Structure 1
């Protein structure tokens, strides 16, 4: 039922005979899929991802519950809902319905359920990191100084240990750095280090490093022209909200900064789905909310469509909700005054249909049904229509772990990101500088010790010389010697021997020059 210009969503009208479609030209105007748990949101996301892929549009989606991996395998007549799916297809006029698999690439920030996703500290940049960690102006200034000095000295900031080492260096050299760049308070450095520790505890060590992800590997199509569906494993990631926010902030920024302006293309260059978006926006850093809003407003001109999947439209901030032109609303429950208010607001966002009451219909649609309104000609929203969503062609539910492993092994990026590369960067360079400085200090200490030893030896020789000059009129043998010399030496002989020894030393030479000088003066 899909054609070159639109994606088939399902059948609408009293008998579900009127096809409801999403026009590809307006698919980059963003969208919303909402509804209570168990009403069919995941199936709607799945059929849209399938249709975009068939149309040659790459897809990126976060898989929070782990049940979207079925996109990689074709559905089966043995599936328990096979008869229900075929019956639904007949009811909505889905004549060419069949089972099919789609080109899927699995990704995972932790590298457990897909190819690792990494970026470098430098690519993240001080501004995004400051916003993400909610630093004060003074702390943000110190972080900017760290990046600037690292750039000046050729110190690559690639991973967390690089940034930590750079901050430690700033603290040790704060006086010199402050004179040139402004005050670098150790209290600010400590605050930044504590915020970094929060990120590390949530797994940021795995995210920051090399090889960094090339987004072109996500924004790609197969040789047959199908868009690749990139599935990010987010079940574990959602337990680390700061890390999830870090990843999304980086990806949205990269997409916004690297993709060229294309205006309104015939179809999107990329579609991004945020599943369980309420988990994203709950206690999200303001930096992330600002970036999502910026993306929602501006990134459509770069050919990117962003779709939020959540339980209630009220989960999405108003500034972002107002940018979502294509809407699919599954059933909502209204048990509390707060729920009733959310229901009324959800109904008011649709263009009314005189055939039914939108507010009442939202509570009555069954599983697999939804109220659908998409953008039509000139970008105007269509009249809301009660719609039976088409069945998916891929497997409903997750694939097994061995099947996932097989898909990962056959991926076009297999082997490109698995091995961590830890090349020489700020941490290694600063550690080497510290080691070299310690070695140089040790050499200087040894040289000073040798000089002290030499001076002490010379002083001892001088003392020996002075002792040799003394004459007490007695025997020349040493008072402390118990053994008698084999032959007696005269005082003159003893002095001569001592003098001969001294003449070979620096002190002796000085003495000779002094004596000779006196003799010449006497003449």
Structure 2
């Protein structure tokens, strides 16, 4: 385990003869945020687990996403395996004081942990547009849907509320045009298709009530250890946009819910973003600006944010500049982009006269890292080449039986398991539609012309058409085709040609009338 000393959390060290280099993460500088990078299989997960243990031992709650399914071992006491014993001996470590740490399991799908839900209104149009992969025009229409729902006092709680609201806005687009602007049917269709895809991926389970209370992440156990909150993300990662949107929503919730506290002796919560590149991949500029703003200002709320990714180039420069604590595992310079990443990582870490940082990055072994952390004056320390301290908890995943026990004995057991479906936009719009139907039928009945009645109250019989005089001529032939003349038993060749021409004219006139009527109804005609 990363041991706790006066200098802070010991996360890595390197014994060089009688002297030893030790790297301490100061708790009062944890809200300066951090970055953990490195290629696959270089030891990022062990670093993440050791850091989480250190914060938990300090009484700081932790949140992290378990992408590979092996972080849950932090809930169980570790053991000295043959492999671990060999590593400890080779690197000059002391044997860890094996221990378990209080853990709460979460899962958007409610299978591997307590369900996590948010309402559609709380997520908001910006993050939802990111989840649905909407373009700028479609995102603007989605914002109008939210605005109309707010103005009409309609609650958007779950997916069916949003689908019903989109359908209602699309069906009545003409009535909203003057107040809200044009609402494209194509954009409404794109939103509906996006919602359908999210539902097929199971994302509709994320929306609804009871909504997650962010305070439930900030718990300690009876011994004063901070609770480690682990989100099961192995299935969630199959929907990368849903995963990224969920984490961004949680960070925004922390930013909005927590009060300003300034600089504390230790953070109130530490948040680890694993696979952080998904947060920024194809993200619109407005969203990146929002992330930068939240990361910069959430520090004063007592929250530390650590991004975990393979390549430092995955993080935008505006966000990278906010990350003061760095742990760089090995990078492999096999491609031009990899070589650029190595140079970028080396340039952004504080130089050490006795260490060639760029060369060292490509030579690091598994569990070895270049570390630069904030000192007591808020300055990055010299970059050191060190070995990460092994965790005191179990390395690897837990069993299904252990997972079940953790869920049933959790401090939030039974709070989020049962979904609540109260009256919201779906029910309100459904009732509105049902009320419209009888009214429309009554109006149609009142508008229909009444047939002439006899004194007995019965409908008068239709008048017999007058017989057309023989030899009516060309106009009479046209009248016959339009239904106004008497039928003849035989027709000459000339009369047949005239009738065919009249029929074509009638069909074209009919089409123009229908187009005009539909155009005025749908608002699609242009002049």
TM-score scaled to structure 1, two decimals? 0.80
How many residues get paired? Answer: 458
| Pick aligned residue for 1:27 from 27, 30, 40 | 30
Match of 2:65 in 1: 62
In structure 1, C-alpha distance between the alignment counterparts of 2:171 and 2:291, rounded to whole Å? 38
Shift of residue 171, structure 1, vs aligned partner: 2.2
2:16 pairs with one of 11, 14, 17: 14
| Structure 1 partner of 2:307 | 308
Counterpart for residue 457 of structure 2: 459
User: d(CA) in 2 for partners of 1:148 and 1:335?
Assistant: 50
Partners of 1:58 and 1:313 in 2: CA distance: 26
TM-superposition CA deviations, 1:172-223 (whole Å, max 9, x none): 2223222333333323322332333333333321111111111111122223
Q: 1:309 and 1:246, CA in 2 relative to 1: closer, same or farther beyond 3 A?
A: closer
- Deviation, structure 1 residue 131: 5.0
Alpha-carbon contact 1:6-1:22 (below 8 Å) kept: yes
> How big is the shift at 1:133?
4.1
CA-CA distance at 1:462 after TM superposition: 12
**Residue of structure 2 equivalent to 1:513:** none
Indicate conservation of the 8 Å contact 2:454/2:460, yes or no. no
Query: What do the CA deviations read for 1:296-347 (whole angstroms, capped 9, x no partner)?
Result: 3222122111112222322322222222111112222223343333222222
Confirm or deny: 8 A CA contact 2:280 2:314 kept in the other structure.
yes
Q: CA deviation at 1:274?
A: 1.6
Shift of 1:258: 1.6
Residue in structure 2 matched with residue 176 of structure 1 by the alignment: 175
**Corresponding position of 1:479:** none
Matches for 1:345-384 after TM superposition, within 5 Å: 345-384=344-383
Contact 1:4 1:55 in 2 (8 A): no
Please say which of residues 180-189 and 31-40 is displaced more in the overlay: 180-189
Q: Structure 1 residues 456 and 83, CA, compared in 2 at 3 Å: closer, same or farther?
A: farther
What is residue 4 of structure 2 aligned with on the other side?
Answer: 2
Between structure 1 and structure 2, the one with the greater Rg is: 1
Equivalent residue for 1:245? 244
Classify the secondary structure of the residue corresponding to 2:69. Answer: coil
How far residue 150 of structure 1 moved from its aligned partner, in angstroms, is: 2.2
* Structure 2 residue aligned with 1:488: none
Give the corresponding residue for 1:232. Answer: 231
**Corresponding residue number in structure 1 for 2:425:** 426
Q: 1:39 aligns with which of 25, 30, 42?
A: 42
Question: Aligned-residue CA RMSD in angstroms?
Answer: 2.9
Cα deviation, 1:373-424, whole Å, max 9, x if unaligned, reads 1000221111111212211110001111121111111111111111121111
CA distance in 1, matches of 2:26, 2:124: 37
Contact 1:253 1:291 in 2 (8 A): no
Q: Does 1:273 align with 2:272?
A: yes
The match for 1:196 is 195
Correspondence for 1:102: 101
Listed as ranges, the gaps of 5+ residues in structure 2 are: 462-527
Task: Tell me: CA distance 1:65–1:136, structure 2 relative to 1, closer, same or farther (3 Å).
Answer: closer
User: 1:394–1:146: structure 2 CA closer, same or farther, 3 Å change rule?
Assistant: same
Distance 1:284 1:137 in 2: 12
Give the TM-score normalised by structure 2: 0.79
Q: CA deviation at 1:452?
A: 7.9
Q: Per-residue CA shift, 1:248-275, capped at 9, x if unaligned?
A: 2311221222222222111111111122
**Equivalent-residue separation in structure 2 for 1:159 and 1:210 (angstroms):** 8
Counterpart-to-counterpart distance in 2, 1:285 and 1:253:
17
Q: Find the aligned partners of 1:139 and 1:280 in 2 and give their Cα distance.
A: 21
Runs of 4+ aligned structure 1 residues displaced above 6 Å come to: 443-449, 451-457
Return the alpha-carbon distance in structure 1 between the equivalents of residues 123 and 434 of structure 2: 30
**1:280 shift after superposition:** 4.3
**Quick one: structure 1 residues 53 and 443, their matched pair in 2 at CA, closer, same or farther if it must change by over 3 Å?**
same
Is the Cα contact below 8 Å between 1:57 and 1:267 reproduced in 2? yes
Residues 45-444 of structure 1 aligned to structure 2 (within 5 Å): 45-77=48-80, 79-84=81-86, 86-87=88-89, 91-92=92-93, 94=94, 97-130=96-129, 132-133=131-132, 135=134, 138-284=137-283, 286=285, 288-440=287-439
1:267-304 CA distances to partner (integer Å, 9 max, x unpaired)?
11111112233444444455553333223322212211
Distance 1:127 1:83, change over 3 A: closer
* Contact 1:245–1:284 (8 Å) recurs in 2: no
237-246 vs 272-281, which moves further: 272-281
Preserved contact between residue 134 and residue 285 of structure 1 (Cα < 8 Å) = no
Shift of 1:113: 1.1
SS of the aligned residue for 2:16 comes to coil
Aligned-pair CA distance for 1:368 = 2.0
**How far apart are the structure 1 equivalents of 2:130 and 2:85?**
51
